[in-house]
A and B are shown apart, each in its own frame.
Chain A
């Protein structure tokens, strides 16, 4: 089954990292990603820009209201997610533990995926 692993962390902590510290975390995470890829368990994953770059469309009103910033003001922010292909929750938790060891602090929320639409676009390079 597919699980989404939602990555929550205090973005101020991430912003306080130097470029070298950021690269070191990404390097450690990269090793976990490689292992998952080899086992064919890693689906799409992405890292988001800070919530200061976010815009929210509130649908409760008509017309919807556009506001600056993230949907929820929280101590820890949604900074990215993974989709992983696992047998059960235990296996998803195992992956989350490996990721946590590579990047401590914050929380991973594990959510089973109901509907999955693979990227229909032709393959092309990402932002970075």
Chain B
């Protein structure tokens, strides 16, 4: 292998890395997702033919954008010749076929290009799983077969879903002009939510499964978003949250594939480099002094990550952070999470005082009865504790959850309260 011919793995990596930028620029040029994707495919094929001979260009994305654009214009030209009537818009597109490379990859436009590409995946009419599947296909470029395996459906079914989702997007107007500051902020918010959905789709899956790889994809897209918005503390918080949660994944499942709860995890298995990156991002975000929900959740995850052993956890800090999160996004689930920390800091009675009013909202929720039972147990109210734990077992979503409650029932004396993985 000469120095000018990078190996196949390098080529594949370079193409994958350039994909979001190239597809999003081609989408701006052609205003059609299928055309943009096909143009990227064609440019990639030409790169695989050309680069081993010539060496890669210095500007990989710029090369792919230009070649992809020319290839798609050639295709339109052929179509135009075959058509009975010349397609006006195709012909007018030819006029700027020789626009200089510099304009095609305008650095200012590229942030909005990629944001737009991510944003069209967040169409409000699309259910969450379809938004996630679409982003994985269009932005990440995962093969349909892999996405299908991640969502446990056949490749044909996933292909059909993606086609329908794309058709839905094509019918709605996508604003191609540069967004104003308010619109840009709205898009960023929608995209952030969608990226967390990508991550969560993987987080709920067992380690090593096709679906668990979606965590890595969510993190990769999070880094991409932070490169586009390097000073946005909420984007820092989002990436930090994903990193700090994913860092625990080697410890989250036991040999039988059952979930291991946070307080029972072997912290020696946590991925230290991911924690280091997450903690650095939390530190960076907090300097901005403009707190937001992602930052607060990341800060909570950071306090868990900093505790070498469960009893070293800064529960007072976590309690305060959950109180802040409650004010930003009032929700019974957040109050329930806060109650865990409150009980650790101020005792089971204080925790229970937060939990009891949630009975109406969370009566059908495993964690509500599990925590309530544990707190009642600590207060010596055994009969009520047994009853609550019985309900929790009935509502348990996994065998590990049920086993956790049973262990507490077995002890039923002076044990620790039920903390859990969820934050």
Q: Which residues of A contact B (CB under 8 A)?
A: 10, 12-19, 21, 24, 49-53, 55, 66-69, 75, 100-101, 104-105, 127-128
Contact = CB atoms under 8 A, between A and B. Distances in A.
A127 to B, nearest CB: 5
B231 interface: yes
Contact of A104 (B6, B18, B220, B239): B6
A100 B1 CA distance: 12
A50 B59 contact: no
Contact of B226 (A19, A52, A55): A52
A50 B3 contact: no
Contacts of A101: 1
B9 to A, nearest CB: 6
The 7 closest A-B pairs by CB, nearest first: A12-B17, A16-B16, A69-B230, A13-B17, A52-B226, A53-B280, A16-B17
A116 to B, nearest CB: 26
A97 B372 CA distance: 63
25 contacts: A10-B17, A10-B60, A12-B17, A12-B224, A13-B13, A13-B17, A15-B17, A16-B17, A16-B220, A21-B13, A49-B276, A50-B223, A52-B226, A52-B227, A52-B230, A53-B284, A66-B287, A68-B230, A75-B59, A104-B7, A104-B10, A105-B10, A105-B14, A127-B276, A128-B272
A75 B62 CA distance: 11
B284 A13 contact: no
B58 A53 contact: no
A67 B58 CA distance: 28
Given A68-B230, A69-B230, A75-B58, A52 B223 contact: yes
A66 B17 CA distance: 29
B185 to A, nearest CB: 17
Contact of B281 (A18, A52, A127): A52
Contacts of A51: 227
Contacts of A67: 231
A10 B284 CA distance: 23
B14 A127 contact: no
A128 B273 CA distance: 6
Contact of A105 (B56, B224, B230, B231): B56
Contacts of A55: 284
Contacts of B281: 52-53
Contacts of B59: 75
B322 to A, nearest CB: 26
A17 B58 CA distance: 20
Contacts of B60: 10
Contacts of B18: 12
Central interface residue in A52, A66, A100, A127, by most chain B CB within 10 Å = A52
Given A53-B281, A66-B287, A128-B272, 7 more contacts: A13-B10, A13-B14, A13-B16, A15-B220, A52-B230, A53-B280, A128-B273
Contacts of B223: 15, 50, 52
Contacts of B74: none
A127 B17 contact: no
B258 interface: no
A24 B12 CA distance: 15
Interface string B141-155: 000000000000000
Contacts of B1: 101
Contact of A50 (B17, B216, B277): B277
Nearest to B271: A128
Contacts of A104: 6-7, 10
A101 B7 CA distance: 9
